[in-house]
């Protein structure tokens, strides 16, 4: 797989801006591989909490860095997040307990370095299961394989030379309502959860993401900005698909 040039799409943006849903549907529609980088940080947070290691305690930073380096996270299909090649944790990592503990993991330099290497490997095709059953897209008679990765530093740090970079933005009230609706749908709404509480958590996460020293959330200078506040998911997918097809005119395998 790694000898074939892959058309890489980087989608960045704040929490609940529609990144993962859009990226997933886009990959599905185009027959591309899909990598949810945020799920990787959630997976490390999940592993820490299960092992009784508090991500909020700075004394645990070195241990958490080592734990991340010894972890494997793969995406064999659009819905599964597989921890250490054996356990599907895709549902468990979406709880608000994970959300409220992820900051210490996301800001950990060693965690980011370990996951960055894994993410670049996934984008290169080093983990063939990411592309299993994916056929790619036929453009002007040429078959092109691709992958979509979403996160917060994909276009700036992980894949600075991605063929297309998109930065999603959305109003925090709208993002909070989306996250609330998603938790209701997944049956992950915890006691006392409200849209306002989620909004406060999202704004806190935004602040942590934008001000952290390592790989802060910021728009790459060559990224296309897309405001998703009043777009449906389908409109987001269609807009990015058009950008991809335009760029493919200049893409040589």
Q: What Cα–Cα distance (Å) separates residue 11 from each residue in 60, 112, 138, 186, 248? A: 30, 17, 22, 23, 17
pLDDT of residue 131: 85
pLDDT of residue 5: 84
Average pLDDT, the chain: 93
d(CA 249, CA 253): 11
pLDDT of residue 188: 81
2 has a pLDDT exceeding 70: no
The two tokens of residue 43 are 């997976």
Q: Given pLDDT bands bounded at 50, 70 and 90, which one contains residue 191? A: confident
Q: What is the per-residue pLDDT across 84-138, written as a single tens digit (0 to 9) for each?
A: 999 999 999 998 899 999 999 999 999 999 999 999 999 988 888 888 888 899 9
d(CA 226, CA 239): 9
If you average pLDDT over residues 198-204, what whole number do you get?
94
If you average pLDDT over residues 235-239, what whole number do you get?
97
253 has a pLDDT exceeding 70: no
Q: Tokens 């806190």 map to which residue?
A: 204
252 has a pLDDT exceeding 70: no
pLDDT of residue 1: 47
Residue 55 CA neighbour count, 13 Å, CB half = 27
If you average pLDDT over residues 213-224, what whole number do you get?
93
Q: Given pLDDT bands bounded at 50, 70 and 90, which one contains residue 3? A: very low
d(CA 228, CA 242): 16
Q: Quote the percentage of the chain above a pLDDT of 70.
A: 98
**pTM > 0.95:** no
């Amino acid at each position: 797989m790694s000898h074939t040039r892959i058309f890489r799409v980087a989608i960045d943006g704040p929490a609940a801006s529609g990144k993962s849903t859009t990226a997933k549907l886009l990959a599905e529609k185009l027959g591309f591989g899909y990598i949810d980088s945020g799920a990787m940080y959630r997976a490390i947070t999940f592993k820490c909490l299960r092992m009784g290691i508090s991500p909020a305690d700075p004394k645990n930073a070195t241990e958490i860095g080592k734990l991340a380096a010894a972890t494997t996270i793969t995406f064999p299909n659009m819905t599964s997040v597989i921890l250490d090649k054996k356990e599907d944790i895709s549902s468990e990592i979406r709880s608000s307990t994970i959300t409220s503990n992820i900051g210490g993991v996301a800001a950990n330099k060693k965690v980011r370095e370990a996951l960055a290497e894994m993410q670049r490997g996934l984008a290169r095709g080093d983990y063939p299961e990411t592309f299993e059953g994916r056929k790619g897209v036929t453009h002007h008679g040429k078959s092109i394989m691709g992958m979509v990765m979403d996160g917060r530093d994909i276009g700036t740090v992980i894949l600075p030379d991605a063929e297309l970079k998109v930065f999603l933005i959305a109003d925090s009230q709208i993002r909070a309502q989306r996250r609330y609706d998603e938790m209701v749908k997944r049956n992950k709404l915890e006691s006392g959860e409200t849209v306002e509480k989620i909004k406060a958590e999202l704004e806190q996460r935004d602040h942590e993401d934008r001000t952290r020293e390592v790989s802060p959330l910021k728009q790459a200078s060559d990224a296309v900005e897309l405001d998703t506040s009043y777009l449906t998911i389908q409109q987001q997918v269609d807009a990015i698909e058009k950008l991809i097809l335009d760029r493919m005119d200049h893409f040589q395998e």
